[in-house]
Amino acid sequence: MTDATTTPPKPASQLREIWQQFRTHKGALFGLIVLGILILFVVFGQFVWDPPQRLSDTIKMKNQGPSLTAPFGTDQLGRDLLLRMIQAGRVSLAVGLIAMLIAIVFGTFVGIMAGYFRKLDGPLMRLTDMFLALPLIPLLLVMVMLFRDKVAGILGPELGAFTLIVFAIGITSWMATARIVRGEVLTLKEREYVLAARSIGARSNRIILRHILPNVVSPVMVAATLGVAEAIITESVLSFLGLGFPPDFPTWGRLLYDGLQYLQIYPERVIWPGVAISLTVLSVNYIGDGLRDALDPRIRGR
C-alpha cells in the first residue's frame, strides 16, 4: 500500500481495450481490411466506374474478354461485368446485413423472453428446437418457389424478391442467437444488481432494457458477425439453384449462376463472383473470430 498516494493511471476506455485486443489478432485485422475494401468497392464503385452503355453498342460489345474499356470483360448481353459485380455486391451485402438484423432482433427477443420469464422458457425453447430440426435449405427453396410470384405482384419483382429472400433467411436463422442469449440471461438475472433493481421496484421491461440487454451485447455481436456470413452464403445458394434474384437485379450468387452456362469458354465469369463471395465470408468469419477474443474480458486481460 505504499504507492496509494500516487495518482492511479487513467483507466483505459473499454472500447479502446477491445480494439487493442482485436488488433493483436492478425486474421481479424486482415478480415477488417479486406471487408473494408470490398464495401468501398460496392458502395463507391459506381461513382468511379460507370461506363455509358448505348443499346446499339451492346450487340457489338457482347462476350468480350478483359480489356481497358471493360476490365472484367462483358457478358452475353454486352453488359460490363465490372459494373455488374459492383451492383451485385451491393445487393449481396445488403441481403446479408438485413437478414442478419432480422435474425438477431428476433433471436435476442426470443432468448430474453425465454431466459427472463420462466413460464415462457419451455414453450419458446421447444419452438427453437423445432426450428433447428427443420430442413432449412429445402424449406427456403419451397418458400421462395411458392411465395415468389405473390410477393413480386405486391412489391414489384425486384423489391419482392429482396423482401422475400431476406425475410425467409432471417426467420430461419435466429435459433443460435436465441439459445446463446437465453443462457446469458439465465445467469444474469440471478446477479445482485438485477436483484437490487428489482428490490427498488423496477418493472421487468426496465430491468430487461437497462440491466440485462447491455450485458448480452457482446455474444450477440459475435453471433451477428457470423450471421452475416451465413446469410450471404444462403442467399447465394438460393441464387445458385435458380430460386434467388432475377437476372436484371443480380447478386454475386446470381452472377455465378449465370456464368455457369459459359463455364467452358469464359471461366472468369464464374471465378470473379465466386472469389468475391468467398473473400467476404472469409473476412467476416475472421472478424467474428477476432471479436470473440476481443469481447471476452477473460482473454482481454492477458
Binding site for other proteins (CB under 8 A): 27, 129-130, 133-139, 141-143, 145-150, 229, 233, 236-237, 240-243, 256, 260, 263-264, 267, 270-271, 274, 277-278, 281-282, 285-286
For other proteins, give the closer residue by CB, 12 or 132. Answer: 132
Nearer to other proteins, 142 or 209 (CB): 142
Q: Give least dist CB 216 to other proteins, A.
A: 25
What is the rounded CA–CA span in Å between residue 207 and residue 187? 14
Tell the smallest beta-carbon distance from residue 132 to other proteins (Å): 8
Alpha helices, H only, the chain? 14-24, 26-48, 55-61, 81-116, 118-133, 136-155, 157-171, 175-188, 192-199, 204-206, 217-240, 252-260, 268-295, 297-300
Interatomic CA distance for residues 57 and 61, integer angstroms: 6
Q: How far is the CB of 14 from other proteins (least distance, A)?
A: 28
Least separation, in Å, of the C-beta of 16 and other proteins?
28
Shorter beta-carbon distance to other proteins: residue 53 or 278 = 278
Closest separation between CB of residue 285 and other proteins, Å?
5
Query: What type of residue is 237?
Result: V
Cell of 258: 449465370
Closer to other proteins by Cβ: residue 178 or 188: 178
CB of 241 to other proteins, least distance (A): 6
| DSSP character at residue 264 | T
- In the Cβ-directed half-sphere of 243, how many Cα atoms lie within 13 Å? 19
Length of the chain counted residue by residue: 302
Distance CA 73, CA 69 (A): 8
Nearer to other proteins, 150 or 203 (CB): 150
Q: How far is the CB of 154 from other proteins (least distance, A)?
A: 10
Q: DSSP letters of 93-106?
A: HHHHHHHHHHHHHH
> Inter-axis angle of helices 175-188 and 217-240, to 10 degrees?
170
Minimum CB distance to other proteins, residue 17 (Å): 25
Residue 219 or 259: the one with the smaller Cβ distance to other proteins is 259
Q: Which is nearer to other proteins, 204 or 278 (CB)?
A: 278
DSSP category for residue 74: B
Q: Mind giving me the DSSP string for 136-200? A: HHHHHHHHHHHHHHHHHHHH-HHHHHHHHHHHHHHHTS-HHHHHHHHHHHHHHTTSHHHHHHHHT
| Nearer residue to other proteins within complex by CB, 219 or 253 | 253
